[in-house]
Amino acid sequence: MRIIQGFAAGLAFAVAASGCAQQPRLEAAAEAMGAGQLTSIQFSGNGTQYAFGQAYEPGGRWPRFVAKAYTIAVDYQTPAMRLEMLRAQGEDPPRGGGAQPFATDVRTIQVVSGKSAWTEGGQQPAPNPGAVSDRLRALWVTPHGIIKAAMASGAAADEAGVINLMVEGRAVKATLNAQNMVERVEYQSVNSVVGDYPVEITYSDYAQFGNIMFPRRIVQKEDGFDTLDITVSDVQPNASMSLPVPENVTKVTAPPPLNVQVEKVANGLYSLAAAGTRSLAVEFRDHVVMLEGPTSDARSAAVNEMVRKTIPDKPIRYVVNTHAHYDHAGGLRQYVAEGITVITHESNKPFFEKAWARPRTLESDPLAKSPKPPMIETVADKRMLTDGAQTVELYYHKGNGHHTGTLIAWLPRERILMYGDAYNPPAGDEIRTPERGPEYARQLVDLVEQQLKLNPVRIAPVHGRVVPYQNLKIAFGL
């Protein structure tokens, strides 16, 4: 069976004529669902959405948001898909990540069209070339999309109603119910922290909408926890739509090369910004300590190479992890592969050991190619790294609503506070972030000023610029 790529031009003929005599169950499903004459569809509803990889506690469920509005428009011929979602705060009090706490509702618009993907909502569309395959796969695993994809690829449905096919390079399994409606779609996805993980989408409560059948409930699970639960209220078969690729997006055909920007923050202290996140390199007498290994192994490899050029002849001995959210832990395996010790809160260690032992068949990495046991050292309440001249103090942020295993780093000589999430300074001269609530920032300020009695002058957040500490307080009126 071949991968579902570039077949859209002949899709109508394929749905009508491909191997029907040999695939009666699949043909019956196409007829029962009305897939044959469907070239586009728009459906909408509301429910709940959950932020994958942003659990409140290591290994816990994903945090919940209210999906006030959820609309998907699909053009099966181009192929193209537009997802628009309006989210509101769902955890009260706020617990976990996913950009909460929200002060206002947040709108997300993600689009794929042919070989281009982008996000709308900024001053101009933001190209997302690395998201093309994932979004096209999401298009073809819609209820009618999976039937069209199966018939176009020559896949068969067995007597139990199971269809196996390849979609955008991944093995996909679809199951029909007794009425020949698509009941479940399953496949494997991949993440740099946990490796291979299962995705399961269930479609239920089918109803007639025009000349097609469509589910009134859609539930998606990723790695065992819900990521979406939508009640569908409106379906428009063969909806008129146009999803042209913006001009600035057409010019971006691949993810840009990874660029590492180095800034000397103080003597022996360097900020390294890459892939939208920041790490700090702290120079000691005979080694270097990295504060945070976020995003991806590729980022960590590029950052570490730059650190070795900037601070030659001193090995990187430790990397400090602020917490176990996937955007903050995504580059830690590269450090393990390089034989560098990971320092994290004691509650995160069992999670990392279990996650890093999981299979990595979809995407390999240096550690998978040359396995070695991770060296993990933990912090309970406080740990000091010092050589007499340079000092880094690590503190456990007990009671933090963002993640139960959160550490902050304090550099007393430079009076710089480094942390994972609480306040992310916007670009330019702007200080305030009106879309974010104050809860997590207030918790950080209380820890720093009331409990630890620290007196920071600057902050170096993982997300955002190095700015005066006072900006954090101004942003939320604290």
CB 157 within 8 A of CB 171: no
pLDDT tens sequence across 382-419: 999 999 999 999 999 999 999 999 999 999 999 999 99
pLDDT value at 188 more than 60 = yes
Q: Using DSSP bridges, classify how beta strands 316-320 and 288-291 pair: parallel, antiparallel or unpaired.
A: parallel
Contacts of 449 (CB under 8 A, 6+ apart): none
Q: 416 and 469, same structural domain?
A: yes
Look at residue 7 in the predicted model and tell me its pLDDT: 45
CB-facing half-sphere around the CA of 397: CA atoms within 13 A: 30
pLDDT value at 98 more than 70 = yes
Q: Give the mean model confidence (pLDDT) for residues 90-111.
A: 97
Q: 182 and 329, same structural domain?
A: no
Residue 16 lies in a domain: yes
Q: Which domain holds residue 318?
A: 261-476
pLDDT tens sequence across 352-372: 999 999 999 999 999 999 999
Q: Which of 196, 220, 250 delimits the end of a domain?
A: 250
pLDDT value at 12 more than 70 = no
Look at residue 122 in the predicted model and tell me its pLDDT: 86
Q: Tell me which residue of 374, 330, 352 sits closest to 191, measured CA to CA.
A: 330
- Mean residue pLDDT of the chain comes to 94
Residue 19 lies in a domain: yes
Secondary structure (DSSP) of 129-149: GGGHHHHHHHHHTSHHHHHHH
At residue 18 the predicted structure's pLDDT band, cuts being 50, 70 and 90, is very low
pLDDT tens sequence across 266-291: 999 999 999 999 999 999 999 999 99
Q: 348 and 238, same structural domain?
A: no
Q: How far apart are CA 169 and CA 5, in angstroms?
A: 9
Helix or strand (DSSP H, E) at 349: helix 349-356
Contacts of 260 (CB under 8 A, 6+ apart): 272, 273, 274, 302, 303, 305, 306
Q: Which of 250, 275, 292 delimits the end of a domain?
A: 250
Q: 201 and 350, same structural domain?
A: no
Bridge partners for 279 per DSSP: 272
Number of independent structural domains in the chain: 2
Q: Give the mean model confidence (pLDDT) for residues 145-159.
A: 96
Q: Give the whole-number percent of the chain exceeding pLDDT 90.
A: 93
The amino acid at residue 470 is: Q
Tell how far CA 188 is from the center of its chain: 15
Using the 8-state DSSP alphabet, how is residue 447 labeled? I
Q: Give the mean model confidence (pLDDT) for residues 127-152.
A: 97
Secondary structure (DSSP) of 359-379: ---SS--HHHHS-----EEEE
Look at residue 24 in the predicted model and tell me its pLDDT: 87
Q: 351 and 246, same structural domain?
A: no
Q: 107 and 167, same structural domain?
A: yes
Q: Strands across the sheet with 382-386, in order?
A: 382-386, 391-396, 407-411, 416-419, 458-461, 467-468
Look at residue 354 in the predicted model and tell me its pLDDT: 98
pLDDT value at 470 more than 90 = yes
Q: Tell me which residue of 53, 88, 82 sits closest to 67, measured CA to CA.
A: 88
Other CB atoms within 10 A of residue 450 CB: 8
- Buried b / exposed e over 286-320, threshold 16 CB at 10 Å, is eebbbbbbbbbbbbbbbbbebbeebbeebebebbb
At residue 427 the predicted structure's pLDDT band, cuts being 50, 70 and 90, is confident
Residue 61: CATH number of its domain: 2.50.20
Residue 319 lies in a domain: yes
Look at residue 355 in the predicted model and tell me its pLDDT: 98
Other CB atoms within 10 A of residue 201 CB: 24
- Buried b / exposed e over 128-166, threshold 16 CB at 10 Å, is beebbbbbbbbbbbbbbbbbbbbbbbebbbeeebebebb
Report if pTM > 0.85. Answer: yes
Q: 208 and 157, same structural domain?
A: yes
At residue 190 the predicted structure's pLDDT band, cuts being 50, 70 and 90, is very high
Residue 256 lies in a domain: no
Residue 1 lies in a domain: no
Tell how far CA 221 is from the center of its chain: 14
Residue 235 lies in a domain: yes
Helix (H, G, I), strand (E, B), or coil: what is residue 328?
A: helix
Q: Is 242 exposed, middle or buried (0-12, 13-18, 19+ CB in 10 A)?
A: exposed
Q: Which of 217, 250, 283 delimits the end of a domain?
A: 250
Q: 180 and 274, same structural domain?
A: no
pLDDT tens sequence across 288-332: 999 999 999 999 999 999 999 999 999 999 999 999 999 999 999
Q: How far apart are CA 148 and CA 221, in angstroms?
A: 23
Residue 255 lies in a domain: no
Residue 81 lies in a domain: yes
Q: 378 and 270, same structural domain?
A: yes
Q: 277 and 157, same structural domain?
A: no
Bridge partners for 102 per DSSP: 436
At residue 22 the predicted structure's pLDDT band, cuts being 50, 70 and 90, is very low
pLDDT tens sequence across 37-69: 999 999 999 999 999 999 999 999 999 999 999
Helix (H, G, I), strand (E, B), or coil: what is residue 310?
A: helix
At residue 14 the predicted structure's pLDDT band, cuts being 50, 70 and 90, is very low
Q: Give the whole-number percent of the chain exceeding pLDDT 70.
A: 95
- Buried b / exposed e over 59-95, threshold 16 CB at 10 Å, is bbebbbbbbeebbbbbbbebbbbbbbbbbebbbeebb
Q: 172 and 290, same structural domain?
A: no
Look at residue 2 in the predicted model and tell me its pLDDT: 37
pLDDT value at 204 more than 60 = yes
Q: Longest Cα pair distance anywhere in the chain, in angstroms?
A: 80
Residue 338: CATH number of its domain: 3.60.15.10
Q: 175 and 46, same structural domain?
A: yes
